[in-house]
Amino acid sequence: MENRPTLQDIRDAHERIRGLVHRTPVLTSTAINDMCEGQLFFKCENFQKAGAFKIRGACHAVYSLSEQEARKGVATHSSGNHAAALALAARWRGIPAYVVMPENAPFIKKAAVANYGGEIFLCKPTLEAREYTLTRVVESTGAAFIHPYNDHRVIAGQGTAALELCEEIPRLDLVIAPVGGGGLLSGTAIAVTSVSPDTAVIGAEPEEADDAFRSLQKGEIVPSENPETIADGLRTSLGSLTFPIIQRHVKEIITVSEEAIVQAMRHIWERMKIVVEPSAAVPLAAVLSGGRDLKGMRIGIILSGGNVDLGHLPWR
């Protein structure tokens, strides 16, 4: 198995996307530190362009294309943050973005893609319909397919958030990232364990979509089937590229209940006065759920994004 991406790939990605994406701030909260008796450092990707870390991977992939490849545009399937991120990155490069989305995707997600100039192809909400539609789009346009997470360029891009975190906050005992398809977690794991070998990397996952937990236990990919979790960014399952990286570099997957996610999300909003989406609250939920002695530890948390429908909040 080839060992890609490497730390150098992540550094290259960082160089490539610098000036396009934000170097997001790292925030701390005395109130939350007191709650968990540790020192938490939150890497705020909710402040990132297009509202989530996804722009890092999408932007790196888009700018990795040759002039000739790029001219034909990029395509993807996604009902979430990757779709909007890819549309925005494509607009920056001045190329078309074709996005296959299920008809039942939330209006707000479609609007975000359209707002960044992406061309949307609606399909029935089944795996078959999605793949059929994507194949047709790619065939008719010649666009480069950019997978939401199972792509080395994307993984390297996502790893740049943790790279910045480790540069800014040395001597972390632990870094926790949420895990859905594993793009963020695998990029984070490579970055962190390479630049700071004494720092452990942990993935945090909803109990209701615990495919990473089960896949690591079983030693092979065990996909979640139609998982129902409020953490809408984490409903996807590990891919063939992300699984082995996580297997190799991630110490543990902690699963958390829906209630713990909502509570952690509310703590972040109330104490830190920032808007994060449910998926972003999963690592703090893992810290607060207990069961592990994290007392006094320096813990980096990737707050993955802030795209949430303010008209439908989970706490009333």
By the criterion CB under 8 A, which residues form the site for its own copies? 25, 46-47, 51, 266, 269-270, 272-276, 306, 310-313, 315-316
Backbone φ, ψ for residue 229 (5° rounding): -140, 150
- Let me know how long the chain is: 316
Least separation in angstroms between residue 62's CB and its own copies is 19
Looking at beta carbons only, is 15 or 34 nearer to its own copies? 34
Q: Amino acid identity, residue 152?
A: H
Query: What's the min distance (Å) between Cβ of 23 and its own copies?
Result: 14
Distance CA 188, CA 230 (A): 23
User: Rounded to the nearest whole angstrom, what is the least distance from the CB of residue 256 to its own copies in the complex?
Assistant: 20
From residue 87, give the alpha-carbon distance in Å to each of 74, 149, 304, 309: 9, 16, 19, 20
Distance CA 280, CA 46 (A): 8
* Least gap, CB of 156 to its own copies (angstroms): 25
Cβ nearer to its own copies, comparing 169 with 238: 169
Q: Minimum Å distance from CB 275 to its own copies? A: 4
Our CB check for its own copies shows the closer of 63 and 269 to be 269
Instruction: Count CB atoms within 10 A of the CB of residue 293.
Output: 9
3-state class of 97 per DSSP?
strand
82-59-3-279 Cα dihedral, nearest 10 degrees? -30
**Minimum separation from the CB atom of position 311 to its own copies (A):** 5
Comparison of 23 and 71: residue with beta carbon closer to its own copies: 23
Interatomic CA distance for residues 84 and 78, integer angstroms: 9
Nearer to its own copies among residue 134 and residue 165 (C-beta)? 165
Measured over the CA atoms of residue 310, residue 311, residue 314 and residue 315, the dihedral's sign is positive
| Closer residue to its own copies (CB): 53 or 213 | 53
Residue closer to its own copies, measured from CB, 46 or 186: 46
Q: In whole angstroms, what is the distance from residue 157 CA to residue 137 CA?
A: 25
Q: Is the peptide bond before 5 cis (omega within 30 degrees of 0)?
A: yes
| Closest separation in Å from C-beta 84 to its own copies | 13
Nearest to 16 by CA among 79, 71, 58: 58
H helical segments located in 177-255 = 183-195, 211-218, 242-249
Identify which of residues 47 and 149 has a Cβ nearer to its own copies in the complex: 47
The distance of closest approach from Cβ of residue 35 to its own copies in the complex, given in angstroms and rounded to an integer, is 13
Q: Which residue in the block uniquely carries the two structure tokens 């008209």?
A: 311
